[in-house]
Amino acid sequence: MKSIISDLFYFPNLEYFCSLIGVDTLYLNPRDHYKRKSYFNRTQIRLANKVETLSVPIVGRRPNIPLGKIEIDYNQKWQKVHLRGIQSAYGKTPFFEYFFPYIEDIFERKPQFLWDLNKQSLTICLKLLQLPVNLEILPEDLVFTDLEDQRGLITPSGHFSDRGIYQPVPYTQNFGLDFDPNLSVLDLLFAEGPGAKRILEESLKKH
């Protein structure tokens, strides 16, 4: 039985899901503090001419806010932008019609806090990937001496090739011949469907 504590991201990338291969329980801590320039409120998808970053706007820019209390700014019509971007990027992929309703439903729930949006997206993606990982909130009184702590490991500022988790295994993407690695897991799910889990397993770096 392997348990880890890690960050919670917005529709995480392939590297993140590779880090969950073989994990039984993933602990998440909403009391950790928000850090700017993280994947907490951003993900990347592949459009016709470029890789696009989708960002969820948040209320305020104050430091030292617990992750569980970061509010989503619904004054900006970001849901329409994200849904339109996902449809433009993946509307013609083999498994779009099967998986898109699950994704669309997450946006329609309009949670107040980004933590809840991310947790819902992670739960759905794990289900669609058929990865049997239990999600648990880290209790305040838990001493995790035997937990592998991966918080702060996967960041936009570093390159995945330096971290020893993910090695790209190309699959057929929607646009062009050149392969863009480590995009949002949505890219893999819409392209490969039930085969997505196998791609992830093959993408895990062997040590």
Cα separation, 66 vs 137, in Å, equals 14
Rounded-to-integer distance, Cα 184 and Cα 45, Å: 6
Mean pLDDT of each 10-residue bin along the chain, 207 residues long: 94 98 96 87 93 94 84 95 97 96 94 97 97 93 78 93 95 89 98 97 88
Q: What is the DSSP string of 34-81?
A: P-SSSGGGEEEEE-SSSEEEEE--BS---SS-BGGGPBB-TTS-HHHH
Rounded Cα–Cα distance for residues 105 and 121 (Å): 10
pLDDT at res. 177: 78
Among residues 44, 20, 29, 6, which one has the least CA distance to residue 156?
44
CB atoms within 10 A of CB 97: 10
Q: What is the pLDDT of residue 159?
A: 93
Q: DSSP class of residue 113?
A: B
pLDDT computed for residue 165 by the predictor: 96
**What spatial distance separates the first Cα and last Cα of the chain, rounded to whole Å?**
19
pTM as predicted:
0.95
CA atoms within 13 A on the CB side of 19: 24
pLDDT of residue 66: 92
CB of 99 closer than 8 Å to CB of 128: yes
Output helix, strand, coil percentages for the chain, rounded to the nearest 5: 35, 15, 45
- Which pLDDT score is estimated for 132? 96
pLDDT digits (tens, 9 = 90+) for 62-85: 667 899 999 999 999 999 999 999
